Amino acid sequence: MTTASASEDLLTLKQLAGKLRIHPSTARSLWRRRAFPGLRIGHRTLRFEFQAVLQALRQAGDPAGDSADK
């Protein structure tokens, strides 16, 4: 995996919320409750791998995982 493709695979909180069709504060709350994995870069920056998030939400039975764009 190259550096360019790795950065393209990672989503910001706002991008993730848009794909999951939920509010960004809801996405942050789910991440804080460890409903799905995320990567903290520095003090404030969060990044998410979409497929890992979907898998975690579907395993937990969360409806956000089913309503996401494919």
- How do residues 11-64 score in pLDDT, each as one tens digit? 999 999 999 999 999 999 999 999 999 999 999 999 999 999 999 999 988 887
More confidently predicted of 70 and 63: 63
Residue 6 above 60 pLDDT?
Answer: no
- Is residue 59 in a domain? yes
Is residue 16 a contact partner of residue 50, using CB atoms and an 8 Å limit?
yes
- Is residue 70 in a domain? no
Position 70 scores a pLDDT of 55
Please give the tally of structural domains in the chain.
1
- Is residue 23 in a domain? yes
Residue 8 above 60 pLDDT?
Answer: yes
Residue 3 above 70 pLDDT?
Answer: no
Residue 4 to residue 7: CA distance in whole angstroms: 5
- Is residue 27 in a domain? yes
Determine the structural domain holding residue 14 and report its residue range. 3-64
- Is residue 69 in a domain? no
**CATH code of 15's domain:** 1.10.10
- Is residue 7 in a domain? yes
